[in-house]
Amino acid sequence: GGASEAVWVSDNISRQLGYSIEEALAPGWWGDHLHPEHRASVFADMARIATADVLRHEYRFAHKDGHYVWLRDELRVLRDADGAPTAVVGAWSDISEYVKTDMELRKLSLAVEQSPESIIITNIDAQIEYVNETFLRVSGYTREEVIGRNPKLLHSGLTPRATFDDMWATLERGEPWKGQFVNRRKDGSEYNEFAILAPIRQPDGRVTHYLAIKDDITERKRMGEELDTYRHHLEKLVDQRTVELA
């Protein structure tokens, strides 16, 4: 590929993109099959051939069957004794699977980072390796203050010891655990969380990390307690009125 017409392509072009050598040597073939979104930027960059020795691009290119593939294109500029460019040698690599995987990882990363629940990932030694923005907002800590630390820094002393014993026994069996914690923010205030913890396994089955997804239920729990109090009050009033009527 290049700004000039191609004078030679390898027979690998058929396996990679579905075109014959004759088709790939046709005038305008390369430029005509660039994805429209990449065409302007790639051609603008190709203008640097006069001064650059290597040009690298990643772009979508039309396969003969109609779909687009992602290519990584590395171009090396050959020069004569005076330094003037004489030819460009290019090599394409199909990176479609890499781009697809990268896009999936980006989507997953954004979903985790923007989740309304607090998300924590620790290693098997219970050292925090990742927290999302919601965790930082709820707990009041900065990322630098928690990375490498044990989640115990959140303990308020109000969660029953039996809760932690049950949690670790469940996780060590390789099973997910659900339960509630009473934790303490950096400013000392207490809050209630409903948590789901699960082991993260590698393809070979080894557990290498633990995932915690936690929801701040402080306000929900307060409202529930108020409703319980109100309901008990109504029940007492009903009982009292029943006695009076009797």
Q: What is the mean pLDDT of residues 220-239?
A: 76
Widest CA span in the chain: 116
Examine the pLDDT at 230 and tell me if it is beyond 90: no
pLDDT band at 240 (very low <50, low <70, confident <90, very high): confident
Rounded Cα distance between 98 and 115, Å, is 25
pLDDT band at 224 (very low <50, low <70, confident <90, very high): low
pLDDT band at 84 (very low <50, low <70, confident <90, very high): confident
Cβ atoms of 179 and 163 closer than 8 Å: yes
Cβ atoms of 8 and 37 closer than 8 Å: no
Give pTM, 2 decimals.
0.68
Examine the pLDDT at 118 and tell me if it is beyond 60: yes
**3-state SS record for the chain:** CCCCCCCCCCCHHHHHHCCCHHHHCCCCHHHHHECHHHHHHHHHHHHHHHCCCEEEEEEEEECCCCCEEEEEEEEEEEECCCCCEEEEEEEEEECHHHHHHHHHHHHHHHHHHCCCCEEEEEECCCCEEEECHHHHHHHCCCHHHHCCCCHHHHECCCCCHHHHHHHHHHHHCCCCEEEEEEEECCCCCEEEEEEEEEEEECCCCCEEEEEEEEEECHHHHHHHHHHHHHHHHHHHHHHHHHHHHC
Report which of 227, 211, 63 is spatially closest to residue 151, judged by C-alpha positions.
211
Locus of tokens 């005076």: 82
pLDDT band at 221 (very low <50, low <70, confident <90, very high): confident
Query: What local confidence, expressed as pLDDT, does residue 2 receive?
Result: 43
Examine the pLDDT at 52 and tell me if it is beyond 90: no
